[in-house]
Amino acid sequence: MNKTISSVRSQRSNLILCCYFNATSNVQVATSKKLPDWSFEQVVFPGQRLLLEAPSDAYLEIHSSHVVDVDSVQQLLSIRCDRLRVDDGREQVTLMLKNGI
């Protein structure tokens, strides 16, 4: 898994730190598969925060089901990852280095 992440990092310089919070009482699945060189899938339990590094132009899709039945899974939302961005301090460090601080 680390090999995959590092290869994605080397291919994409526009990765941003994103956060999604499952505020429901249902198990959800977060996916992103629309970019040719990046995909993601993770179960998000009720009350769980999901942190991920994603391309800024990726979309995170949230799917949910009240019962364990593949046919009843519904897409709840699709949100662009740059709207879920978390300030991870990387820009600040870069600016400090450029300014010689």
Residue 8 has pLDDT above 60, yes or no: no
- Strand residue runs (E) in 1-101: 15-21, 28-35, 38-44, 49-55, 59-64, 74-80
- For residue 40, the domain's CATH number is 2.60.40
List, for residues 32-77, the tens digit of each pLDDT value.
Answer: 888 888 888 999 999 999 999 999 899 999 998 665 555 566 778 8
What is the overall mean pLDDT for the chain?
Answer: 77
Residue 87's domain comprises 2-98
Work out how many domains the chain is built from and give that number: 1
**Angle (CA) 69 44 86, round 5°:** 145
Asked if residues 4 and 68 have their Cβ atoms less than 8 Å apart, the reply is: no
pTM flag (> 0.75): no
